[in-house]
Amino acid sequence: MFKYGGVSESWGRYPHARHAREVPLAWRVGLALPATRPLLAYGQGRSYGDSCLNDGGTLLRTSGLDRLISFDPESGALRCESGVTLGEILRLMVPRGFFLPVVPGTKHVSVGGAIANDIHGKNHHRAGSFGDHVRRLELLRSDGQRLELGPGDVLFEATVGGLGLTGLITWAEIKLRRIPIAAVRSEAIPFANLEEFLRLSEESDAEFEYTVAWVDVLSRSQRGIFFRGDHAEGSPRAPRAKADIPIDVPLVNTATVRLFNTAYRAAQRLSGRMRLQHWDPFFFPLDSIGHWNRLYGRRGFLQFQCVVPTPDALRELLREPPSSPLTVLKRFGRARSPGMLSFPRPGFTLTLDLPNRGEETFAQFARLERIAIEAGGALYPAKDARMSKEAFERSYPRLREFARNVDPAFSSSFWRRVTQ
Ligand SMILES: Cc1cc2nc3c(=O)[nH]c(=O)nc-3n(C[C@H](O)[C@H](O)[C@H](O)COP(=O)(O)OP(=O)(O)OC[C@H]3O[C@@H](n4cnc5c(N)ncnc54)[C@H](O)[C@@H]3O)c2cc1C
């Protein structure tokens, strides 16, 4: 759990919240929810803004709910408690020839958090979102009911992508997939502009399981690197030992972003177009630096992630982009997402990281939000610290239906901000 001066944090370290209580949960059997209100589950705090915070309320810390319950190697069905992390599942299952069907950009995410944000990965165009692979889950409601739910149940549809507001997920069953061996054959292809990115997306999504692009937003032409890969046979080198940022060092500014972008592009070119990689650095390159969020200093940073339906809206978003070192582009597939508030939908998803410079940063976000929403797009709550009530309502047309399923004892800083 991330704490700073006794205050629990999200990954972006903005906004700050003071929780009245933090209750560590340790064992799913006989678990009773505390009587204090409002309640909110907290997994690994890898959401960027305030969807995992509950200012003034009670946090239910799930990291102690960390047991695997059963595994069926025939079907690949793994049942585990909700605080188990995706990294732990991969550590145990990859040597047995299984992989998670969907992984985000970090493995330090709990199963409960992955369901509550219905997370997506580099293979959305093939595999859909995390919720598509959840077969069953148990939901503990504040009235003491334990409900076993699965696809087809209304409360399941509300809980997948439900931002932790429908109750506490105690365990879940996920269907893992078989993989040949712990390697990924990947390609890094430089592109000169957005048109080339669109062409590469089109051709690569048809052939490769994993596709994503990094964009050098400071280059006028929007050049970047397109990554594509597949699980493969081979003996890749194990990842190097992890480095750590031990203290706050506010290093991210336009000059360092320019430097980083040039160095990153050169490094990708030097390491060659084709390579056989270990799965860990391919899926989770940022995990090799512990606490990299400290590079944004004590004021923290904000991430903006939206999805827009057309390349024109994408062009508009990138017309005057703020200087973000981690700018990621991906085309989502056409699959219908399983949750009432799931974020993924057909179109292009753009992610930008910005140091928190107060009003200046908020104004940049407001401009990006307006473009995305007017184009018929949506913003992602898992990454958000400032979207407006209107943007939330326009992003999620099933919001009213969802609200009927919220547990009255559960709430979050995010939920209060966008509904009150
Ligand atoms: C470096 C990095 C890369 C990322 N890349 C991606 C990406 O590629 N795709 C993507 O979709 N996301 C991505 N994310 C976001 C991350 O996957 C999500 O925010 C995820 O939900 C975090 O899980 P967590 O365990 O940290 O949950 P938290 O952030 O602690 O909580 C997230 C939500 O889950 C709820 N929750 C947690 N546990 C339970 C439970 N047991 N029962 C009910 N509700 C619960 C919380 O109440 C909260 O609403 C990334 C984050 C980082 C830091």
* pLDDT for residue 238: 74
Whole-number pLDDT of residue 7: 56
Cα–Cα distance, 30 to 9 (Å, whole number):
29
Cα of 52 from ligand 1 centre, angstroms: 8
Token pair listed for 263: 């160095």
Give the pLDDT band (50/70/90) at residue 361.
very high
Cβ neighbours of residue 103 closer than 8 Å, sequence gap 6 or more: 86, 90, 121, 283, 284
The arithmetic mean of pLDDT across residues 92-117, rounded, is 97
What's the chain's average pLDDT?
Answer: 93
Number of the ligand 1 atom closest to the C-alpha atom of 286: 1
CA of 133 to the centre of ligand 1 (A): 16
Pocket of ligand 1 (CB under 6 A): 11, 40-47, 51-52, 62, 82, 104-106, 109-110, 112-114, 116-117, 119-121, 163-164, 168-169, 286, 382, 412
pLDDT, average across residues 77-84: 98
Other CB atoms within 10 Å distance of the CB of residue 19 = 19
pLDDT digits (tens, 9 = 90+) for 162-195: 999 999 999 999 999 999 877 899 999 999 999 9
Q: Which DSSP string corresponds to 118-175?
A: T---TTHHHH--GGGGEEEEEEE-TTS-EEEE-TT-HHHHHHTT-TT-S-EEEEEEEE
Q: What predicted TM-score, i.e. pTM, was given to this entire model?
A: 0.96
pLDDT score of 133 more than 60: yes
Report how far residue 195's alpha carbon sits from residue 197's, in angstroms, rounded to the nearest whole number.
5
Ligand 1 centroid to 85 CA: how many Å? 10
Q: Which of 111, 117, 165 to mutate to test the pocket of ligand 1 (most atoms within 8 A of CB)?
A: 117
Kindly state the average pLDDT of the residues 354-359.
Answer: 92
Task: Answer yes or no: is pLDDT of 247 > 90.
Answer: no
Helix (H, G, I), strand (E, B) or coil at 88: helix
Q: What is the pLDDT of residues 108-127, one digit of tens each?
A: 999 999 999 999 999 999 99
Nearest to 173 by CA among 145, 142, 131, 144: 131
pLDDT at 4: 40
Test site for ligand 1: of 109, 210, 295, most ligand atoms within 8 A of the Cβ: 109
